[in-house]
Amino acid sequence: MTPQERYQKLSALLMQESPELVEVLSEYQLLDKVGYKTGLLKPEHSYAESLSWWPLISVLGTFSAGKSSFINGLIGKKVQTTGNQAVDDKFTVICYGNQEAVLTLPGLALDADPRFPFYGISAQIEKVEQGEGKRLDSYLQLKTTAADILRGKILIDSPGFDADAQRNATLRMSKHIIDLSDLVLVFFDARHPEPGAMRDTLKHLVQATRQRHDANKIVYILNQIDTAAKEDNLEEVMSAWQKALASEGLVGGHLLALYHPAAADLGENASVNERFARRREQDMQALLTRMEKVQVERSYRIIHSLENLAHEIEWVQIPKLKNELKRWRLQVLSIEAALLATLISLLTTLWFLYDFNIASITESSIWALLQNSAIFGFSTALLLFFSIFAMHHWLRAQLVRRRQTQLQQQNEHALADALAFNTPFWRGMFYASPRGWKTKTRKWLSKIHQSAKAQIQRRNDRYTNPSGETLLK
């Protein structure tokens, strides 16, 4: 499916469900043109496919934290398998379906559909770990069911962080879904409050998220808190976990306390049970309210992503590309200068040897020598010209390929592609700007910035009214 076909399909779906985002979609198409012109985006890709166009809620945590039980209780049917062991080691995307029964589809269904957050993820995995992209079904699955709570949103249940078999891929994909999500629920198991036992999980789930500009979309949940009911030490358990989170740099983070009522073991003290139930109801209501807001936050996220991408192209990627081209030019010229110096030295040596031997030539052979020298000199010059030309382009290409490999290892895939795009054999080395980076391109980016701000303003007008005055309709 070409980017244009994907845009048409996405536009048709948005017209039915979120028509206000169709205009934003056209700005993504304009951003694609900038990417294609500068080589930062391959023709078969699109910036619109790098995000989820549907509200996305991801659920992360350890395998024993009760994530699956929470999802089953939220949806009202058994969608995920539950247990005290790592029963499911895949990322499961859950969305609304036309059937009451739970339908499970392979990871390929997500990799090939631009509506979902893992579109094209196999290629991304393949870039980091060769051969793993073909094993997509080992990492992903899609489940659908007819449940009202799922209308207009997508849930993602992640595998537990304590399973080591696919840790690297799990962490990489977790970062991917955190980037895409409108709301991230991070679950911890209240039965294991020891910071030492949970240090690795806290490192990846807290340290990786606390410095994000959108860290407010992350909610930390202390699940299965009913285990503290028999000791009646809810405050002590909550305090211990707050300290554990603070030790990893999360200061002032809000921690919700939940448990699954059907599986709760609260003990026999009615007043304690009532207090725990009241706390759970209060925190669950706060969480459900937060989840309902993703519909509004989704449009802000998509517009913000558009503006961020435009800003990154103009102020991050293009300057980096200019530096890469400057570095490449200096390398080519430095190596060629060294080779030229060597060649001049060699020719000087040969000339002295020739000048030394010319004294032994008789007068009668001078004319023949001059004729042969002219032919030899012309042939040598012609051969030397083509050799230098071929060597120059071979050296250019070799330096580009080597630098591309280095950039790809640094996860700078767009920059690596743009470097190759800007250094074909037929393009000179001394252009002041990268290919496609012209006044027209910069105007496109300016238009995108202005459109994004206007889109934000229109949404602010819809949801806010600082003056408190009655608006005329």
> Rounded to whole angstroms, how far apart are CA atoms 295 and 289?
11
- Where, residue-wise, is CATH 3.40.50.300 in the chain? 52-301
Three-class secondary structure of residue 229 per DSSP: coil
CA angle, 228 then 230 then 234, to 5°: 30
Query: What are the average pLDDT values for consecutive 10-residue runs of the chain, which has 473 residues?
Result: 83 83 92 96 88 86 81 89 64 88 84 70 63 67 90 84 56 76 86 57 61 76 78 75 72 74 72 83 91 85 91 96 95 88 75 56 50 56 71 90 92 92 91 92 95 90 67 44
pLDDT of 197:
46
**pLDDT at position 409:** 86
Q: What are the structure tokens assigned to 386, written together?
A: 């083509």
Query: For position 313, what pLDDT does the model report?
Result: 96
- Distance separating alpha carbons of residues 69 and 185, to the nearest angstrom: 14
DSSP letters of 310-323? HHHIIIIIHHHHHH
Q: Three-state secondary structure along 246-312?
A: HHCCCCCCCEEECCCHHHCCCCCCHHHHHHHHHHHHHHHHHHHHHHHCHHHHHHHHHHHHHHHHHHH
Q: Which pLDDT value is given to residue 418?
A: 96
Tokens of 187: 């679950």
Residue 132 tokens read as 């793993």
Coil/strand/helix, residue 370: helix
Architecture of the domain defined by 52-301:
3-Layer(aba) Sandwich (3.40)
Q: What is the pLDDT of residue 473?
A: 41
Model pLDDT, residue 332: 92
Looking at residue 39, its pLDDT comes to 96
Instruction: Please give the pLDDT value at position 440.
Output: 95
Q: What is the pLDDT of residue 404?
A: 94
Helix axes 294-312, 22-38, angle to 10 degrees: 20
Q: How far is CA 238 from CA 216, 292, 395, 449, in A?
A: 20, 26, 63, 44
130 vs 140: CA distance, rounded Å: 17
What whole-number distance in Å separates Cα of residue 48 and Cα of residue 30?
11
CB atoms within 10 A of CB 161: 23
**Cα torsion for 317, 320, 322, 327, to the nearest 10°?**
-150
pLDDT at residue 234 in the model: 74
Q: What is the pLDDT of residue 132?
A: 59
CA distance 312 to 306: 10
